[in-house]
Structure 1
């Protein structure tokens, strides 16, 4: 779905309730996304004194790899989005706007809902994704010569190495490297 700036300046307010299939777009833009449901987007776009205000709530379920096991995990996502757009000409007039307001410059005379939704989905992907059984489990993955450590185990291991270096022979450490 897209809106022309002329249409928005005439109507002043347009409400929408859309279902967007962005699966292929999201998968192309992020290797982390294995699959996605149809995004449900409900909101409005309004024109006010040279600014285009896009407000909506988006709901989608992403299938992402687990941070521990790489097994697919369904991750429900619900986000409220508020964006402000302005044409390049209008943007020059708003130099006195507060620095906390972020205005997105429009290079074309169109605003695309799918681009906004896809961008905001990608911004909301968390760094750590765990399946329900992984959240409650203390067992971490391990292999023949490796294992995953918790932060506490890592700190403890580091402290033990520092204590080992306090031995009388620690001065010889690295002599034959």
Structure 2
């Protein structure tokens, strides 16, 4: 946690290199997270022209369930984060930037690094998670009278059905037999 007055006093900004254990907190916020390694965060917070710049690099391994098989998948993540804050007094002058979510407002005169890290991990969770075997193989799950299809497969199947149900489908090949 960085106090805005400490940041303003430091002309070069404040560098940091921290490790956060956020697994329990993030599992409470998102039940899809099966596991999270300690998050290594390296960066700098600085004050310039009325704005507070929080720039950092975070590295972690997150475990999520596969979208297909529900098998645990370990994803190694390396993410750059750049956030821009404005002090609450200045927020009134920069209200249009705040309304467009381009600038965050400093609360209680402090920038909470752990909160920023947690929020950015949650924002980076992918929708589609596959095991290496699922990514490599083209076989999709299927069962009795059902199968999972890709969108391209669905489109080609729909086109084939459309052509088969065409009133002119019965006429195909009619002239080919006469040429023999």
Fold match by TM threshold 0.5: yes
Distance in 1, matches of 2:102 and 2:52, equals 12
Give 1:44 shift.
0.8
Which deviations, in whole Å up to 9, do the C-alpha atoms of 1:116-152 show, x marking residues without a partner?
A: 1111111111221111111111211122332111223
Distance in 1, matches of 2:159 and 2:31, equals 37
5+ long unaligned stretches in structure 2: 169-180
Residue in 2 that maps onto 1:171 = none
Give SS of 1:93's match. coil
Q: Which has the larger radius of gyration?
A: 2
Residue in 1 that maps onto 2:173 = none
Pairs aligned (count): 166
Give 1:101 shift.
8.5
Distance in 2, matches of 1:135 and 1:30, equals 24
Give SS of 2:27's match. helix
Distance 1:135 1:109, change over 3 A: same
Give SS of 1:157's match. helix
Distance in 2, matches of 1:77 and 1:29, equals 19
Give 1:100 shift.
8.8
Residue in 2 that maps onto 1:80 = 80
Give SS of 1:6's match. helix
1:4-19 to 2 correspondences below 5 Å: 4-12=3-11, 13-19=13-19
Residue in 1 that maps onto 2:141 = 141
Residue in 2 that maps onto 1:52 = 52
Give 1:95 shift.
6.0
Residue in 2 that maps onto 1:68 = 68
Give 1:31 shift.
2.1
Give SS of 2:143's match. coil
Distance in 2, matches of 1:93 and 1:49, equals 13
- Please tell me the root mean square deviation across aligned C-alpha atoms, in Å: 2.2
Give 1:27 shift.
1.1
Residue in 2 that maps onto 1:22 = 22
Q: If the length of structure 2 is used for normalisation, what is the TM-score?
A: 0.83
Distance in 1, matches of 2:150 and 2:49, equals 53
